[in-house]
Homo-oligomer: A and B are copies of this chain.
Amino acid sequence: MADLRNPAIILHSPQLGENIGAAARVMRNFGLTDLRLVAPRDGWPNPAAETMSAGAFDAGVTVSVHETLQEALEGIAWLAAATARLRGIEKRVGDAAAAARTAHERMGTGQSAIMFGAEKSGLPNDAVAVADYLMTYPVDPEFKSLNLAQAVCVFCAEWGKVTLGPRGDEGDHKAGLGEPAPRDELYRMFEHFEDELEKAGYFFPPEKTPLMKDNLRAALIRADWTQQEVQTFRGAIKALALGRGKARVVRDD
């Protein structure tokens, strides 16, 4: 029986409404909508959560409130527990990217959930015990306590990569770049530039001219010019050359 629901986020005994709201907002940013609260300290609804959610609850995030974790796990077939300590429990372990990939691969075999503990104390051991997976982030061991909503954010961003965007290993693309300029256009641009520099008396002394040209070309070539940018640059050279010409005409008069 295919169950194509996105993973649920479970907050176990969250304390601050602000964090619940911020978690809901970042869930919605990355396409997640099933938020389950186990024994929220300040009850529900919570005005601080509403404020921090930036409208996420109206934009599709549903909240259910449960007295126990067991009740919150209804319909959950795979459960990952976010934890900074591995606790010596025998479980599979991975980072947020691996958890997101696993949750994604399991879509169709039941809903998954990612569970986060309270702000100060994290998850209790009996909650970690029923998880299938420990999700842990590579944090600085000297300063490893993440804000709760930030911890939720890290998973959600990985979920977004899996479902909404390019995978990390394909992530460096050139969507914003136009057609790269062919080399011959670059050469014509260099020659145009050097020609005008020559006229301006830039290349001096003559025996250093080749080296000066090479240095200029080496610097310019790194810019990965597009055709449009080559046109723009050549326009700039032309404008400079004309301006200089005019100035000289004035001086010559």
Contacts and interface: CB of A to CB of B under 8 A. Distances in A.
Interface of A: 22, 25-26, 28-31, 52, 54-56, 59-60, 86-98, 101-102, 134, 137-140, 142-147, 149-150, 153-154, 157-158, 160-161, 163-166, 168-169, 171-178, 224, 226, 228-229
Copies of this chain in its oligomeric complex? 2
Contact of A171 (B94, B144, B146): B94
Given A96-B157, A138-B160, A150-B153, 16 more contacts: A26-B150, A28-B140, A29-B139, A29-B143, A54-B147, A89-B176, A90-B176, A92-B176, A92-B177, A93-B174, A94-B173, A97-B169, A98-B168, A101-B172, A134-B176, A137-B157
A60 B142 CA distance: 10
B138 A166 contact: yes
A137 B163 CA distance: 12
Contacts of A175: 86, 93
A144 B143 CA distance: 30
A86 to B, nearest CB: 5
Contact of A177 (B29, B90, B157): B90
Contacts of A140: 28-31, 160, 164
A15 to B, nearest CB: 14
A8 B224 CA distance: 25
A98 B171 contact: yes
Contacts of A157: 96, 137, 153-154, 157
A86 B174 CA distance: 11
A143 B94 contact: no
Q: Which 6 residue pairs spanning A and B have beta carbons closest together?
A: A138-B165, A97-B168, A98-B172, A98-B171, A138-B164, A95-B171
A147 B92 contact: no
Contacts of A97: 161, 168-169, 171
A112 to B, nearest CB: 15
Most buried by B among A150, A158, A226: A150
